[in-house]
Amino acid sequence: MIPYSAPVADMRFVLNRVVGIDRIAALPGYEAASPDLVDTILDEAAKFAAGVLAPINHIGDHEGSVFENGEVRQPESFRQAYQQYVEAGWNSVPFDPEFGGQGLPWALAFAVQEMWQAASMSFGLCPMLNQGAVDLLTSHGSPGQKATYLSKMISGEWSGSMDLTEPQAGSDLGTVRCKAVQDGDVYRVTGQKIFITYGDHDLAENIIHLVLARLPDAPAGSRGISLFIVPKFLVNPDGSPGERNDVRCTGIEHKLGIKASPTAVLSYGDNGGAIGFIVGEPNRGLEYMFAMMNNARLSVGLQGVAIAERAYQQARDYAKIRVQSRDLRTPKKPPVTIINHPDVRRMLLTMKAQAEAGRILAYDAAAAFDLAQRHPDEATRTAAQLRLELLTPIVKGWCTDMGCEVASIGIQVHGGMGFIEETGAAQHYRDARIAPIYEGTNGIQANDLVFRKLGRDQGAAVQAFLVETRAVAAELAGRPGDDLAAIARGLTAGLIVLEQATEWLVETLKPDPVAVAAGAAHYLRMFGLVAGGAGLARAALAADEDLRQRGADAGFLTGKLLTARFFADHLLPQAAGLLTPIVNGHQTVMALTEEQF
Does the pTM surpass 0.95? The reply is yes
Alpha carbon of 187 to those of 160, 432, 448: distances in Å?
19, 38, 33
Gap between the Cα atoms of 400 and 440, Å rounded: 12
Under DSSP, is residue 213 helix (H, G, I), strand (E, B) or coil? strand
pLDDT of 175: 86
Strands 158-163 and 206-213: parallel
| Neighbour count for residue 28 (Cβ, 10 Å) | 9
DSSP string, 502-535: HHHHHHHTTT-HHHHHHHHHHHHHHHHHHHHHHH
Residues near 454 by beta carbon (within 8 Å), at least 6 away in sequence: 462, 502, 505, 506, 509
Alpha carbon of 353 to those of 349, 367, 395, 594: distances in Å?
6, 21, 16, 41
Gap between the Cα atoms of 520 and 55, Å rounded: 40
Q: Is the separation of the CB atoms in 396 and 300 below 8 Å?
A: yes
Give pLDDT tens digits along the chain (597 positions): 679 999 999 999 999 999 999 999 999 999 999 999 999 999 999 999 999 999 999 999 999 999 999 999 999 999 999 999 999 999 999 999 999 999 999 999 999 999 999 999 999 999 999 999 999 999 999 999 999 999 999 999 999 999 999 998 888 888 899 999 999 999 999 999 999 999 999 999 999 999 999 999 999 998 999 999 999 999 999 999 999 999 999 999 999 999 999 999 999 999 999 999 999 999 999 999 988 899 999 999 999 999 999 999 999 999 999 999 999 999 999 999 999 999 999 999 999 999 999 999 999 999 999 999 999 999 999 999 999 999 999 999 999 999 999 999 999 999 999 999 999 999 999 999 999 999 999 999 999 999 999 999 999 999 999 999 999 999 999 999 999 999 999 999 999 999 999 999 999 999 999 999 999 999 999 999 999 999 999 999 999 999 999 999 999 999 999 999 999 999 999 999 999 999 999 999 999 999 999
Q: Report, as residue numbers or ranges, the catalytic residues.
A: 439
Gap between the Cα atoms of 430 and 64, Å rounded: 14
pLDDT tens for 142-188 read 999 999 999 999 999 999 999 999 998 888 888 899 999 999 999 99
CA 296, 298, 301, 303 torsion-angle sign: negative
Gap between the Cα atoms of 5 and 12, Å rounded: 14
Gap between the Cα atoms of 159 and 210, Å rounded: 11
pLDDT of 1: 66
Angle between helices 378-414 and 425-432 (to 10 degrees): 140
For the chain, counts of helices (H) and of strands (E):
22, 12
Under DSSP, is residue 347 helix (H, G, I), strand (E, B) or coil? helix
pLDDT of 18: 98
